[in-house]
Amino acid sequence: MKTFHCGSLVPGCEWHTRAESEAEIVSRAIDHLRQTHGETTIRPSIVEQIKERTLEETDAA
């Protein structure tokens, strides 16, 4: 399972998401940036930053 915290990209934002694939994380993060942060243009560099900040969750059990 992968996770992304928007606050790692937009300081102060507490939104986060979890998904099985990096593609789903990127899709959800882009939707969030558009709806919540008013981004109208998503540059390739933003997509790369989302990917760089997407973490693989480890089992805590």
Give the 3-state secondary structure percentages of the chain, helix then strand then coil, rounded to 5.
45, 15, 40
pTM for the predicted model, two decimal places: 0.89
Q: What is the pLDDT of residue 20?
A: 96
Residues listed for the chain: 61
Bridge partners (DSSP) listed for residue 19:
2
Query: For the segment 3-59, what is each residue's pLDDT rounded down to a tens digit?
Result: 999 999 999 999 999 999 999 999 999 999 999 999 999 999 999 999 999 999 886
